[in-house]
Structure 1
Amino acid sequence: MSVVKAIKRAMERIAPLSLAEKWDNVGLLLESPVTRPDARRVMLTIDLTTSVCAEALASPTSMIVAYHPPIFKGLTSLTLANPLQASILRCAAAGVSIYSPHTALDSVQGGVNDWLASGFFSSGLRGSSTLLGEDKGDGNGVGRLVTLDKPTDITSLSAIIKAHLGLAHIEVASPATDPTITGNERPYPVSTIALCAGSGGSVIGAAEADAYFTGEMSHHEVLAAVARGVHVILCGHTNTERGYLPILKEKLQAELGKEEGGPYEVYVSHEDAHPLRVV
């Protein structure tokens, strides 16, 4: 069995493509007509950047599983003048195919959003996590609502999130005080957290929750949330996704062990990184 077929079968068991959002572009996005001799390595990355592409081409990698689809909208041309398109062309010429799970991996139980929710419970907080948004069946769906048994404060919550994501800094917007408490004003407590990886404003923006937790939201989405008395915690788009790659590595390695044509080696890109830094 070819590496492409093995990856498609294994990834479908991990994150069925039927769970992806309708607007998304998931699955096998590039099937190279070239076969790399003895290439049985599979690279995991959030984005197919030029650095990630170079890393893959410098190793016996035959498949890239890129969480974000490098081909998203319709293309009228593919040229080397466009750096991102050039990476796709170089992969095709070198025998490297590309697969993207994106929102299928967000929605599936045990996927990216469940991993985000797990950070609260692994910290010692108690509560539950339920589906937020469209129910895709069997508990699968793109958003999560975390309900804590006991309320906490935004400072403690922020520390938990930074520890779970391995970040030194995040962005937080909070209502100043509770206007319903006259003469004894205090910060809003947090008992419920609506979360979604990546750009989650459209998923969590209408949720009844004390805090919104996502990678990024628009300026006006943040203002609207704070005006309603909701804390907003933003961590950078890919920072809410990248920490899941080691988990996906273990899942994919196990599933590929069931496929013929191996052994296969799954590894996480060293060059994949959040594109923005704090200076």
Structure 2
Amino acid sequence: MSAFLKAVTSAMERIAPLRLAESFDNVGLLLETPLRSKQHRVMLTIDLTTAVIDESIENAASVIVAYHPTIFGALKSFTMANPLQASLLRCAAHGISVYCPHTALDCTWGGINDWLAEGVMGEKNDGIVRPLQNEKLSPAGNSEGALGRMVTLQSPVSMEIIVKRVKEHLKLSQIQVGYATPDGVQSNKAVETIAICAGSGGSVFSGKKADVYLTGEMQHHEVLAAVASGTNVILCGHTNTERGYLPILASKLQAQLEAAAFDGAFNILVSNTDKHPLEFI
């Protein structure tokens, strides 16, 4: 392993320990390639798309940190006919290694879900945040976080204010909102508790009572069940709940590499071409 790749993987492990990832996940260094570029550059992205590969090659990146795993299940072959496999093959050809943190970055304190929690609490940071599921403990017995977050606002606010905060935090002009309709009547109850899960939160919210579910996407029947039971639902698009965290991750990675005194100049880039695959038109 090249010295720079080793420094990046070690830094990412300190930011989001892989032991925190969910058991179904596939995280860590998913593609290691021989170093070709003399530039020490990391490209941060949510998805490893064709556009991101082109951008990474153009910028002579040697490592891509892609939040979503580029390999999930067992593979019997690598071919250019499969777009995701083609992206990995192009990375290999250009000496670009790929690291994926996914749910490790969701679970860890200071990760994506905590960033989402900051958005719903507003400027005064008026709330208490705790994990939505059982806390994961470090070898020393300290809490390292868990999947999802439950925010309890100290000063309950209207649903309209929560919607406004979410749109401003995620820089979105449109989101999907399902208003709670217990007994078929829309509820105007003030919001005190918000359950949060980046990406797809339906299964994470199962059995959790809150005034609002905030996530990227949920299945149709999960939305129906939530609003019927008195829970408002806010859906923002899967990767829209994740992408805004990348500049924060860039700062964390920069600080970790500087603290480790990596011997050489390096750059941390956030992809300009990575974007949500669906648009409102």
What is the TM-score normalised by the length of structure 1?
A: 0.94
Partner of 2:277: 275
Partner of 1:205: 206
Partner of 1:25: 26
1:226 pairs with 2:231 = no
Among all aligned residue pairs of Structure 1 and Structure 2, give the percentage whose two residues are the same amino acid: 54
1:35-46 residue pairs with structure 2 within 5 A?
35-46=35-46
Aligned mates of 1:8, 1:242 — CA distance in 2: 20
Partner of 1:118: 118
Residue identity opposite 2:273 in structure 1: E
Shift in Å at residue 90 of structure 1? 0.6
Aligned mates of 1:144, 1:221 — CA distance in 2: 18
Check the 8 A contact 2:184/2:228 in 1, yes or no: no
Partner of 2:188: 187
- Equivalent position SS for 2:62: strand
Q: Unpaired runs of 5+ in structure 1?
A: none
Check the 8 A contact 2:212/2:232 in 1, yes or no: yes
Q: Deviations over 1:221-266 (max 9, x none)?
A: 0001011010000000000000000000000011111143322110
Aligned mates of 2:59, 2:144 — CA distance in 1: 39
Aligned mates of 1:71, 1:126 — CA distance in 2: 39
Number of aligned residue pairs: give it.
274
* CA RMSD across the alignment: 1.7
Shift in Å at residue 119 of structure 1? 1.1
Shift in Å at residue 139 of structure 1? 4.5
- Equivalent position SS for 1:91: helix
1:246 pairs with 2:236 = no
Partner of 1:98: 98
What is the TM-score normalised by the length of structure 2?
A: 0.93
Partner of 2:148: 143
Shift in Å at residue 84 of structure 1? 1.4
Residue identity opposite 2:175 in structure 1: I
Aligned mates of 2:61, 2:113 — CA distance in 1: 28
Q: Unpaired runs of 5+ in structure 2?
A: 138-142
Runs in 1 of length 4+ with deviation above 4 angstroms? 178-181
Partner of 2:140: none
Residue identity opposite 1:37 in structure 2: S
Check the 8 A contact 2:37/2:95 in 1, yes or no: no
Aligned mates of 1:139, 1:94 — CA distance in 2: 36
Check the 8 A contact 1:66/1:100 in 2, yes or no: yes
Partner of 1:217: 218
Aligned mates of 1:48, 1:194 — CA distance in 2: 28
